[in-house]
Structure formats: C-alpha cells, structure tokens
Amino acid sequence: MRTAVVILNWNTKGFLRSFLPPLLRSCGEDAEVIVADSASTDGSMEMMSEEFPSVRTIPLDSNYGFTGGYNRALAKVEADYYVLINSDILVDDHWLDPLVAWMETHPECGICGPKLHALVKDAKGRYVKTTRFEYAGAAGGYLDRFGFPFCRGRVMKRVCEDEGQYDTPAEALWCTGACLMVRSSVWKVLGGLDDRFFAHMEEIDLCWRARLAGWKVTVVPQSTVWHLGGGTLAPDSPWKLELNYRNNLLLLDNNLASSLQAAGIPVEKAARKAARKISFRRFIDNCTRFAYACTGKREYAAAVKKAHEGWEELRTQKAPASTPAPGYPGTDSPAVAPAGLACVNMVPNALLRGKGIFKYLDNKLFKQ
C-alpha cells in the first residue's frame, strides 16, 4: 500500500460521523483510511461497524495518548507513507495528492504537511471553512531562541489570514500533528513518537529528530486542510497547560544539545549551553507561574509546578531509539543545525508588535 491515512480516535464519534465521509471520498486506490481507537466509551467503534463497515479499525485496549496510540497502531500498518490525521479535520477532494507527489519527487524529505486553516461552526451548527490559519500548525512551525513554538501565520494565540503569502513550499522545523505525512522508513528508524510526551508537542519532537537525522521537513501549501481544534482537550484545560509546559522542556532536553553539536559546537560545550538555556526557560516558566498565582489562576500555577516535576521524572526514563547522526544513510544532508531554530525572542516581540508581528517575521525570517 502506498499511503495509510490513520485517525487515532478517542471519544469523538460525532467528528468521525461528520468528517470521515469526505476523507474516504478523497482517498484513491493507493490510499487506505484506517481508524485506530483508544478504548473509547462513547460508542465510536459500534458506530464504525454500523455506518462504515468497510473501514479498517484497530481497537486498542487503553488510551495510550497520541504518542502511545499511534506507536501501537502504526506497528500494525504496512505502507510507504503514514498520514497522522485528527478526527476533527475536514479535507477537500485534492488534499492528499500534493503531499504524495512532494514525497515522490523529493527523496530528501522525510516529513511533510499541508497548510492548516481554521474550521468553525456557524449559528446553525454547520461547519464552515475559513481562510484564516489555525493555531495548531498554520503554515509550518519553528522555535524561538528559548524554545517557544510559533508558526508562519500563528504567533502565540494570534493568527492571520491566508492571503497567499506562504504559497511556496518551505522547509520548517515541524509540521502540525493534526495532519502530518511521514515516510514509514523514517518513522521506523526514529522509533516513532516519544511515548513520554503522551500528547502535545510530540510532533515537534519527531520532526526535530528527523531534521537531526538529515531529513527535510517541508510544508506543501498546494495542500490545505481545515481543523476544528480542541476536540480532545479544551484550550483552557489545566491538564493541557501542564502537558505543554512539561513537553516543551522534554522537547528541548531531547534535541537542543544535539542541534548545537550539529552547528559545530563541541559535545561538552554543547551540553553545558543546552543546560543553561533549559534552566533559563524554567526561570521564564516560573515567572509565568508567579503571574498566574497573582491573578487568581491557581489551577494554572499548579499546572506549571506539576509540569516541571513531571519533566524531572520523565527525563530519567528511556527515550526513543537513538537518532542516527546527521547525514543518515539515504540522504546527502550535511551535519548542520536544523532549519527552523530562530534567533528571535518571540514573546516580547509578539506583545510589543501586536498584529505587526507577522510582517516583522515575514521580513526577518520568511522571505521567499
């Protein structure tokens, strides 16, 4: 099989019912849609057997999170390309072809993804496509100097309209996990997703490890999908906040020292520099925790504290299989620091520039 398009479902029966039909229509003979289920209790699998009996399902015995669920599901799937796609994604008829075509003609690319637009519900409960970028990945992701993720088209909670400004394929550090295509060979070499993340930022880690292994990560803007967002965890959930703070540190712990080494810094010096940067990032986090406490958001302050404690525990556990050195066999990539690590301080710039942050970044980083 050329392409396996795999949804990992957990209690989103309504999304499957709404968004699975257009997904099935969009996939030709060389692609199969598969629904893996994380022990849902909302009748998702019963609905699948009644309304979509021809669709292959992979039931899991528990909810292992985004990471563990996909690792277990894809171990049972054979294909040249895996597409990880959320159940709350709406596609058109032609979203898949540009991604496959890019991979076929660019063997140096290990991971690619589409542009991500926002999907909204109108007053009558109908899903409406917008031309506004969506938070989860917009037009390709990057990290600032302290490890804060941002995107072309999304900085912090601010997003902009898609006016064609990012319609040229471009390398990024990461593509959104809401809809991501990865070569199965790359997935297997990298050991899949890092189980320790459970959910949130795991795709950034996967893409960063792929970049360090010599593969390119590319946004293919000829493909666009629409994402509703917040289908599993509400945006204001303290648990979601904890996952983001914890996993951001884990992300840096996994990859920052290796990136500094790839930039030519000696091993011991790279380790010290990475440790200092992570320590400063923890200081920034604790300033945020203090601000939450002072403004009465005690649940959020507690979430930051728990995130740091969780990171301290997780970093002692086993990481995925060792990432090959830059220049992994099968690519001709030199050992250089991955593209997408930006020397900008995103938070103060975003606060000071407001809507102007997009023009600033377009001029400073994203000129095409």
329 compared with 305, residue with greater pLDDT? 305
Instruction: For residue 308, give Cα distances in angstroms to 84, 146, 245, 345.
Output: 29, 16, 7, 22
Kindly state whether residues 216 and 266 are assigned to the same domain: no
Decide if 257 is inside a domain: yes
Q: How confident is the model at residue 231 (pLDDT cuts 50, 70, 90)?
A: low
**pLDDT for the residue numbered 272:** 96
Domain boundary, last residue among 193, 227, 261: 227
Kindly state whether residues 32 and 156 are assigned to the same domain: yes
Kindly state whether residues 123 and 272 are assigned to the same domain: no
Q: What is the mean pLDDT of the chain?
A: 93
Q: Is 156 exposed, middle or buried (0-12, 13-18, 19+ CB in 10 A)?
A: middle
Tally the residues of the chain: 368
Helix, strand, coil distribution of the chain in percent, nearest 5? 40, 20, 40
Q: What is the largest CA-CA distance in the chain?
A: 60
List Cβ neighbours of 23 (8 Å cut-off, separation of 6 or more): 5, 7, 33, 85, 89, 91
Phi/psi at 256 (5° precision): -65, -45
Inform me whether the pLDDT recorded for 233 exceeds 90.
no
Q: What is the CA radius of gyration of the chain?
A: 20
Kindly state whether residues 144 and 21 are assigned to the same domain: yes
- pLDDT of 158-200, one tens digit each? 999 999 999 999 999 999 999 999 999 999 999 999 999 999 9
Q: How confident is the model at residue 338 (pLDDT cuts 50, 70, 90)?
A: confident
Sign of CA dihedral 296, 300, 303, 304: negative
Rounded Cα distance between 227 and 130, Å, is 10
Least confident span in 101-105, 183-187, 330-334: 330-334
Kindly state whether residues 160 and 67 are assigned to the same domain: yes
Inform me whether the pLDDT recorded for 20 exceeds 70.
yes
- pLDDT of 258-305, one tens digit each? 999 998 999 999 999 999 999 999 999 999 999 999 999 999 999 999
Decide if 309 is inside a domain: yes
Rounded Cα distance between 137 and 115, Å, is 8
Residue 1 carries which DSSP code? -
Joined together, the tokens standing for residue 219 give 């946004």
Inform me whether the pLDDT recorded for 65 exceeds 70.
yes
Domain boundary, last residue among 180, 211, 227: 227
Strands, E assignment, 135-240:
141-143, 149-151, 154-155, 158-159, 170-171, 179-183, 216-227
Q: Which residue has the tokens 């031309």?
A: 131
Q: Which of 79, 78, 59 is nearest to 69 (CA)?
A: 59
Decide if 360 is inside a domain: no
∠ CA 258-259-264 to the nearest 5 degrees?
A: 95
Q: How confident is the model at residue 327 (pLDDT cuts 50, 70, 90)?
A: very low
Kindly state whether residues 223 and 240 are assigned to the same domain: no
Inform me whether the pLDDT recorded for 329 exceeds 50.
no
Kindly state whether residues 184 and 258 are assigned to the same domain: no
Rounded Cα distance between 66 and 29, Å, is 27
Decide if 324 is inside a domain: no
Q: How confident is the model at residue 51 (pLDDT cuts 50, 70, 90)?
A: very high
The tally of domains found in the chain comes to: 2
Kindly state whether residues 70 and 104 are assigned to the same domain: yes
Least confident span in 121-130, 261-270, 322-331: 322-331
Kindly state whether residues 75 and 175 are assigned to the same domain: yes
Q: How confident is the model at residue 321 (pLDDT cuts 50, 70, 90)?
A: low
Least confident span in 220-234, 266-280, 344-358: 220-234
Decide if 42 is inside a domain: yes
Q: How confident is the model at residue 325 (pLDDT cuts 50, 70, 90)?
A: very low
**pLDDT for the residue numbered 330:** 44
Inform me whether the pLDDT recorded for 339 exceeds 80.
no
Q: How confident is the model at residue 29 (pLDDT cuts 50, 70, 90)?
A: confident
Joined together, the tokens standing for residue 151 give 């995107």
Domain boundary, last residue among 173, 198, 227: 227
76 compared with 316, residue with greater pLDDT? 76
CB 24 within 8 A of CB 94: no
Decide if 357 is inside a domain: no
Kindly state whether residues 276 and 219 are assigned to the same domain: no
Residue 240's domain comprises 234-318+329-337
Decide if 355 is inside a domain: no
Inform me whether the pLDDT recorded for 203 exceeds 80.
yes
Decide if 23 is inside a domain: yes
**pLDDT for the residue numbered 328:** 47
Kindly state whether residues 56 and 112 are assigned to the same domain: yes
